[in-house]
Amino acid sequence: LEGYKGQHARFLRCYSRYLAGERSRLEEMQQKREPLARAKVTNRALRELENELGTLYRNTPSEKKEGSTSGEAIDPFCMYLYGLVLKQLDRTDLATEALVRSVNAYPFNWSAWRCLTSLVKSKESVSKLGLKDHCITQMFLADVYLELQHHETNEVMDILTALIDVFPNSTHLNAQIAMAYYNMRDFDEAQRLFQILHETDPWRLSSMDVYSNILFVKECKAELSFLAHTAIKTDKYRPETCCIIGNYYSLKGEHERAVIYFKRALRLDPSYLSAWTLMGHEYVEMRNSAAAIEAYRRAVDINPRDYRAWYGLGQTYEIMRMHNYALYYFRKATKLRPYDPRMWCAMGDTFERLSRYEDAIKCYKQAEGNEDPEGTAILKLANAYRKTKDNDTAAVYFRKVLQQREEEGGGSIEERRDNADALLFLARHYKGKGEMKECERYCNRLLDIGGTVKDEAKSILQEMRERRRHLAS
């Protein structure tokens, strides 16, 4: 194709050089062991491509950049490739401009839209792109909001619902709706939608790795086993298949075998984000902190907006008792997911270990304000106030803990232990304040629980009776 000057020939020649350079880069990266050395490995074809395509781009008048194909004008596909090259060279502003012109000229190149999605930093920046009104533009907006973990889910759902009315049989849009519920942590609805999607198109593997994550979280072994077998029959050499099998073995507690399949997924696609993050989780389970940190770092290098990898790094450094490092990574996670109570609770825990109780309380209040369904933040607030000797406020939150447990009817061992701790604190608190009726009420509830707290409750009741006799005499 070197001697051909047509636009299609130019794109095929340049794109082939780009792919060859990417293959050489990945092969060279595999030979490097140090993370810094791997980071320095680049695609050697980028500079030549930037010079060739950049000259055409700069020499093409604005009106021609909008889709004209006369003369030496750069066409939308070469413009997409130019944007891809600029992105890898960290020239993000010019890359964004080239990609916007590419999708405006030819909106049906979804690869260009996906590349543009990775360059969008916030919802506000989308309105400044100058995109033409098109149905694919609406798909792009939904994709961006999901990628940004945008909390205004009603807006995302409105876009997707409107598109579904136009494309009712689109498996891509149905998968996006399921992803929206997954991001909201509504796993039941997300599982239902993914199950319908899988029944509608059993040979589809795209986004099925997310479905396997949901089945893993809900501990649905039979469903995950069926999904893994179906994926193997469809295409055992897809990264999604390896990821599904890895989740299956992880759920069975076979973490070493899970790592093998996540590594297999990465050999098929070294930029496969889910595999890096999930492999980091497996290394945490295996107590291999160094390997976990390396996996999570590779994930954030691929996508700095992956809150799971930042959260995983924070947890790993917590295990290593490097609390200041953990705090840095938890802060990153809370910036990406400011509405997720788990992120705030994790950061609050770290502040507590650093004896920064006021900061911990602020974090727990943020978690409580974000509709913490498990009630973790309330219990942590109660304990934090107890540590700061603010017993009146601690009592308020311990009562909230008991109320929530009663409403949920929780009967797990951990919940019963939390209840006993809350009741014992309240009994002691009201004993110290001389409120005998309240003290007796909580002590009587402790007698029903049994164990060591039962003896302490009896002791408090005996002391209260003696105090009454003394006051009566």
Give yes or no for a contact between 274 and 295, defined as CB atoms under 8 angstroms apart. Answer: no
Residue 389 to residue 383: CA distance in whole angstroms: 10
**In sequence order, which residues have a C-beta less than 8 Å from that of residue 196 and are 6 or more positions away?**
174
Q: Is pLDDT larger for residue 99 or for residue 413?
A: 99
Provide the pLDDT confidence category of residue 70 given band limits of 50, 70 and 90.
very low
If you average pLDDT over residues 220-241, what whole number do you get?
95
Output the pTM of the full model. Answer: 0.83
Q: Judging by beta carbons within 10 Å of its beta carbon (0-12, 13-18, 19+), is residue 89 exposed, middle or buried? A: middle
Q: How far is CA 34 from the centre of its chain?
A: 27
Which pLDDT score is estimated for 125?
Answer: 85
If you average pLDDT over residues 357-385, what whole number do you get?
88
Which pLDDT score is estimated for 312?
Answer: 95
∠ CA(440), CA(401), CA(416), 5° rounding?
Answer: 75
Which pLDDT score is estimated for 217?
Answer: 94
Q: Calculate what percentage of the chain has a pLDDT beyond 70.
A: 92
Render pLDDT for 97-153 as a digit per residue (tens, 0 to 9).
999 999 999 999 999 999 999 898 888 888 888 899 899 999 999 999 888 875 555
**Given a cut of 50, is residue 329 above it in pLDDT?**
yes
Render pLDDT for 246-259 as a digit per residue (tens, 0 to 9).
999 999 999 999 99
**Given a cut of 50, is residue 463 above it in pLDDT?**
yes
Look up tokens 């694919």; give the residue.
Answer: 136
**In sequence order, which residues have a C-beta less than 8 Å from that of residue 133 and are 6 or more positions away?**
none
**In sequence order, which residues have a C-beta less than 8 Å from that of residue 268 and are 6 or more positions away?**
237, 238, 239, 242
Q: Indicate the range of 130-144, 351-365, 455-469 predicted with least confidence.
A: 455-469
Give yes or no for a contact between 319 and 289, defined as CB atoms under 8 angstroms apart. Answer: yes
Provide the pLDDT confidence category of residue 414 given band limits of 50, 70 and 90.
low
Amino acid symbol at 471: L
Which pLDDT score is estimated for 324?
Answer: 94
Which pLDDT score is estimated for 441?
Answer: 84
What is the residue-averaged pLDDT of the chain? Answer: 87
Q: Judging by beta carbons within 10 Å of its beta carbon (0-12, 13-18, 19+), is residue 473 exposed, middle or buried? A: exposed
Which pLDDT score is estimated for 230?
Answer: 95
Query: For the chain, how far is it from start to end, CA to CA, in angstroms?
Result: 109
Which pLDDT score is estimated for 422?
Answer: 85
Residue 160 to residue 150: CA distance in whole angstroms: 14
**Given a cut of 80, is residue 67 above it in pLDDT?**
no
Render pLDDT for 264-302 as a digit per residue (tens, 0 to 9).
999 888 889 999 999 999 999 999 999 999 999 999 988
**Given a cut of 70, is residue 228 above it in pLDDT?**
yes
If you average pLDDT over each of 29-38, 289-298, 434-443, which comes out highest? 289-298
Both structure tokens of 1: 């194709």
Both structure tokens of 377: 């933040």
Render pLDDT for 330-347 as a digit per residue (tens, 0 to 9).
999 999 888 889 999 999
Both structure tokens of 197: 């999607």
Provide the pLDDT confidence category of residue 40 given band limits of 50, 70 and 90.
confident
**In sequence order, which residues have a C-beta less than 8 Å from that of residue 27 and are 6 or more positions away?**
none
Which pLDDT score is estimated for 423?
Answer: 84
**In sequence order, which residues have a C-beta less than 8 Å from that of residue 21 and are 6 or more positions away?**
43, 44, 45, 46
Provide the pLDDT confidence category of residue 64 given band limits of 50, 70 and 90.
very low
Give yes or no for a contact between 290 and 266, defined as CB atoms under 8 angstroms apart. Answer: no
Which pLDDT score is estimated for 257?
Answer: 96
If you average pLDDT over residues 419-442, what whole number do you get?
83
Q: How many other CB atoms sit within 10 Å of the CB of residue 195?
A: 16
Residue 24 to residue 17: CA distance in whole angstroms: 11
Exposure of 221 in the CB half-sphere (CA atoms within 13 A): 5
If you average pLDDT over residues 200-222, what whole number do you get?
94
Which pLDDT score is estimated for 65?
Answer: 45
DSSP code at position 447:
H
Smallest CA-to-CA distance from 50 within 81, 74, 22 is with 81
Q: Judging by beta carbons within 10 Å of its beta carbon (0-12, 13-18, 19+), is residue 193 exposed, middle or buried? A: buried
Q: How many other CB atoms sit within 10 Å of the CB of residue 428?
A: 17
Exposure of 293 in the CB half-sphere (CA atoms within 13 A): 14
| Cα distances (angstroms) measured from residue 373 to each of 18, 149, 189, 383, 405 | 48, 19, 16, 18, 11
Residue 470 to residue 473: CA distance in whole angstroms: 5
Residue 312 to residue 276: CA distance in whole angstroms: 11
Which pLDDT score is estimated for 432?
Answer: 83
Write out the DSSP string of 240-283.
HHHHHHHHHHHHTT-HHHHHHHHHHHHHH-TT-HHHHHHHHHHH
Provide the pLDDT confidence category of residue 412 given band limits of 50, 70 and 90.
low
Which pLDDT score is estimated for 429?
Answer: 85
Residue 362 to residue 418: CA distance in whole angstroms: 22
Give yes or no for a contact between 120 and 103, defined as CB atoms under 8 angstroms apart. Answer: no
Exposure of 217 in the CB half-sphere (CA atoms within 13 A): 14
**Given a cut of 70, is residue 8 above it in pLDDT?**
yes
